[in-house]
Structure 1
Amino acid sequence: MSKPVKETSNAWRWWLPIYKYTWERWQQSSYRHFAANVGENKVVLDIGTGTGAYIKMLPKNNYYIFTDIDSKSLKIAKVQAKKYLSSGTYEFDCCDATTAIKQHSHANVISMLHVITVIPLPEQLLDLIAKTMQPETTLHIYVSGFSKKMPNLLNKLVKFLGFNVIKVQLLHKDLSSEKICVFNERYLLTTS
């Protein structure tokens, strides 16, 4: 059974004051990698935006939909967006990942930067994405390598998607091999 959104949000409120001094700094390389590989002229749905630490790195010629379950962190992200992106090129939606996928299925890119391990029932979310994403949509999943649980969680995700740690062999039953990339601080799993 998944945690209620309120309970997860309360945990994030505890973490938020120290986030910029810890996790945000550790994830800089993946933020830069995503910004360099997101593409151009895309509609990007970002699941779990948090405080938007990477917004300043994003290409300016995309339309961004930033989502998170915590309105307080989204307020911080809005400041980042106003500072670094042109008005009219982004929107914010305070909602859970499932709602975001259902409401914004028109996105060309879906990004989950270091959130797959904190999303309740990630397998169900991936099933939903597989059913709703457009043929041209690419899914980017970044997985942190700092948690002691991470190797086990990454292995479960890789196994669920049918990946081989060296090279992607197969994908989730409804996702074609060109449609998904999983990144880790230490490993890059590609679809080619």
Structure 2
Amino acid sequence: NAASGGWILAVLRLIGGIGILTIGSRVLVSGATEAATYLGVSEAVIGLTIVSAGTSMPELITSLVAALRGRTDLAIGNVVGSCLLNLLLVLGGGALAAAGRGLDVSPELIQDDLPVMLLTSLACLPIFWTRGRISRLEGGLLLGLYILYIVDNVLPRTTLASWSDEFRLLMLCLVLPVVMIVIMTQALVFWRTKS
């Protein structure tokens, strides 16, 4: 039966993909640890930049292919599901598997990066609520914010470290207000057209 043959092939591909991802994740973790040691930066910084980008590449490619094929529900479901999986399954499973008391969260992550994550999540809410669509402007805004976040993480550890404070001041005084204005304008336009 052709249908059962297709089903078996799909399961074999899934198992093969999981196996390749498992091997790739081991290589990624060991390479990231070595890179952190070589560059003289903390593993948290490598995790926030190289490792997070590397582990999110399958999701990025999946969402891009789904969006190009017009399957936007799959693209959005992939992103939301991945965030939930990372927060609940990965953190929970990592804490259960960790030796000792569980996962130690560095004060640097709590002080600097957790507020950015929460603010970004809150900033996404009006985007998701309006029109049920993420526009190209909003997508460009989100991509730009990610690039600025990476620059903010990498800049203090480079030869341009003296520019770090000026960069953060620029982000606070210019970028943050612009982002808020764009989001609020998009939301207001939506609510006016809806009523």
Greater share of residues in strand: 1
Could you tell me the TM-score, scaled by structure 1's length? 0.24
Could you tell me the TM-score, scaled by structure 2's length? 0.24
Bigger radius of gyration, 1 or 2?
2
Greater share of residues in helix: 2
